[in-house]
Amino acid sequence: MKFRGKIIDIACLNHFTRVVTTISKLTKMCVLRLTPDNLFFVLSGKVANGGVSMWCELSQANFFEEYQMEGVSSEDNEICLEVTPENLSRALKTVQNAKAVKVKLTKKHCPCLTIAAELPTLSSVSRVVTHDVPVDVIPRRLWHEFKEPSMPDFDVSIYLPPLKTMKNIVDRMKNLSNFLVIEANLNGEMNLKIETDLVSVTTHFRDLGNPPWGDDASQDGGPSQSRDPESMVEARVDIRRLQQFLMGQQVNPSKAMCNIVHQSVLHLILLHEDMSLQYFIPAVA
């Protein structure tokens, strides 16, 4: 098993760091899956049992100038590592002005992702800073747990408003309740609601638009086939988990959307030209 990569473009380094930092806001531990063409950050919580799950996909060619990897075998040409994204984020944040950053899978006192950065200098002597981020190698027999999750059979799909706006609203609502109801329809309308014994607060969004695959679902006989466009579908979720996702504004997504399975699952998606992030939050009673 071998892996090494090199980033020399500062914009690519900064964007990669923002992605890793976003992941660190969503989970303390995750799996980094390396393939010849892509990197994946995976959290495979069982949504049906109340856990969250995450799938973040990056095209290596959009970040790395050099990228070489050899998996466990020619048939299974992948590497799966358990990492603490916060440790990786801290290491990357210290080398944002580097001329080049090399990432390599090494064996020190334990398996590590070694980050070696060549820093700018005024003299002819080069300065190299090295960080060793401990990882655990995931055995082949467990890989099946870290495959791409299937798209839920959603009732409504809708584009999200600007994430910063949404985050400001959710941050204020968190002072009132630990739970939030998000509801949407096929007419581009979405509401965020807090309901307690003492207060009821609702924020309305209109003209958000619905992704075209909502039409595909109806044509395939999906749950939206006979749904009234004005009819609301809702999911009540832990407001802290939604807050964590909204930290994703750091990656400046070109599109953000959510799919709702009525009273079951909230499936949130961030799309960027060189990455995608999916986050699944279970609904609570």
Q: Are residues 174 and 134 in the same domain?
A: no
Q: Is residue 195 part of a domain?
A: yes
Give the C-alpha separation, 259 to 268, whole Å. 6
Taking 70 as the threshold, does the pLDDT of residue 50 lie above it?
Answer: no
Q: What is the pLDDT of residue 48?
A: 54
Rounded to the nearest 10°, the torsion over CA 67, 71, 75, 76 is -110
Q: Is residue 53 part of a domain?
A: yes
Residue 124 vs residue 131, higher pLDDT: 131
What is the average per-residue pLDDT within 249-278?
A: 91
Q: Are residues 10 and 137 in the same domain?
A: yes
The tokens describing 278, both together, are: 């999916």
Name the DSSP class of 285.
-
Q: Is residue 22 part of a domain?
A: yes
Q: What is the pLDDT of residue 224?
A: 54
pLDDT digit string (tens) for 195-208? Answer: 999 999 999 999 99
What is the average per-residue pLDDT within 51-69?
A: 93
Q: Are residues 276 and 160 in the same domain?
A: yes
Residue that terminates a domain, selected from 145, 174, 202: 145
Q: What is the pLDDT of residue 212?
A: 87
* Residue located via tokens 């020190």: 108
Q: Are residues 136 and 183 in the same domain?
A: no
Q: Are residues 139 and 14 in the same domain?
A: yes
Q: What is the pLDDT of residue 47?
A: 57
pLDDT digit string (tens) for 209-248? Answer: 999 874 444 444 445 556 789 999 999 999 999 998 997 7
Pairing of strands 156-159, 255-261: antiparallel
The tokens describing 129, both together, are: 């800073």
Average pLDDT, the chain: 90
Q: What is the pLDDT of residue 216?
A: 47
Name the DSSP class of 140.
G
What is the average per-residue pLDDT within 136-159?
A: 89
Residue that terminates a domain, selected from 145, 167, 192: 145
Q: Is residue 221 part of a domain?
A: no
Q: Are residues 99 and 177 in the same domain?
A: no
Q: Is residue 150 part of a domain?
A: no
Task: Determine the structural domain holding residue 194 and report its residue range.
Answer: 156-216+228-282
CATH label of the domain that carries residue 74: 3.70.10.10
Q: Are residues 163 and 110 in the same domain?
A: no
What is the average per-residue pLDDT within 144-160?
A: 88
Taking 80 as the threshold, does the pLDDT of residue 158 lie above it?
Answer: yes
Taking 50 as the threshold, does the pLDDT of residue 253 lie above it?
Answer: yes
Q: What is the pLDDT of residue 150?
A: 80
Residue 270 vs residue 125, higher pLDDT: 270
Three-state secondary structure string covering 232-277: CEEEEEEHHHHHHHHHHHHHCCCEEEEEEECCCEEEEEEEECCEEE
Q: What is the pLDDT of residue 225?
A: 54
Name the DSSP class of 109.
S
Over the range 212-221, which residues count as b (16 or more CB within 10 Å of their CB) and which as e? eebeebeeee
49: pLDDT confidence band, cut at 50, 70 and 90? low
Q: Are residues 47 and 7 in the same domain?
A: yes
Q: Are residues 55 and 87 in the same domain?
A: yes
pTM over 0.85: yes
Q: What is the pLDDT of residue 214?
A: 44
Name the DSSP class of 206.
-
Q: Are residues 161 and 273 in the same domain?
A: yes
User: In the chain, where does DSSP find H-type helix?
Assistant: 10-26, 85-93, 163-173, 213-219, 239-246
Count of structural domains, the chain: 2
Taking 80 as the threshold, does the pLDDT of residue 16 lie above it?
Answer: yes
Q: What is the pLDDT of residue 145?
A: 86
Residue that terminates a domain, selected from 123, 145, 167: 145
Q: Are residues 185 and 241 in the same domain?
A: yes
Average the pLDDT over each of 6-20, 116-130, 252-266 and give the range with the smallest value.
Answer: 116-130
Q: What is the pLDDT of residue 221?
A: 41
Q: Is residue 223 part of a domain?
A: no
> pLDDT over 90 for what percent of the chain?
74
Q: Are residues 110 and 177 in the same domain?
A: no
